[in-house]
Amino acid sequence: MDTTTEIVERLWAHEQIRQLASHYAVAVDSRDLDALVALFVDDVRVGRDTYGREALKASFAVSLRGVGVSMLNVGTHAIDLVDADHATGSVYCHGQIQDGPRWIHQAILYRDTYERRGGSWYFVRRIHELWYGQEAEHNPLDQEPANWPEHHDGLGTVPGSWPTWAPFWAEGTG
């Protein structure tokens, strides 16, 4: 039978891992690349022969400049603890992504590998799979400003209100 300490440690591991997925979504949507790569192990593999957070940051910079506004909504998150320092998981995510003038809805599955180092959990690997992507009939970014709380509909202030948004785009593709 498990001790109370073992149960609490497992629950704490599950919560820390769940927070990885949520922080990933916020970091992607705000284009906070430093926060994003800090969620991964420091020797993360990027491609076949490249390793490290700086390489991952460069990879994310290229891929995220390929789309405009994104909104990742994390849903189901199944976590399997392998041992005290290793786990795997499946994360369902609904993505809304600006692709030029188009607005795309995606159903995404992330297949994750996690590792605990120095008492904190990190992504070791994150595989992005797609159930589907479908263009929306109307792009929600093609609206007049809402001027919230004056109007309930219209264009809002996010993502421009994130302090990392404008600097990300100002850096260009380099």
**164 falls in which pLDDT band (50, 70, 90)?**
very high
Helix (H), strand (E), coil (C) string for the chain: CCCHHHHHHHHHHHHHHHHHHHHHHHHHHHCCHHHHHCCECCCCEECCCEECHHHHHHHHHHHHHCCCCEEEEEEEEEEEEEECCEEEEEEEEEEEEEECCEEEEEEEEEEEEEEEECCEEEEEEEEEEEEEEEECCCCCCCCCECCCCCCCCCECCCCCCCCCHHHHHHCCCC
pLDDT band for 173, please (50, 70, 90 cuts).
low
CATH number (domain holding residue 96): 3.10.450.50
Is the entire prediction scored with pTM above 0.85? Answer: yes
Collect all residues with Cβ–Cβ distance below 8 Å to 153 and sequence separation of at least 6: 143, 146
Taking only the tens place, the pLDDT of each residue in 24-80 is 999 999 999 999 999 999 999 999 999 999 999 999 999 999 999 999 999 999 999
Which domain range does residue 10 map to?
Answer: 4-170
Instruction: Render pLDDT for 88-107 as a digit per residue (tens, 0 to 9).
Output: 999 999 999 999 999 999 99
Q: What is the pLDDT of residues 2-30, one digit of tens each?
A: 899 999 999 999 999 999 999 999 999 99
Structural domain count of the chain:
1
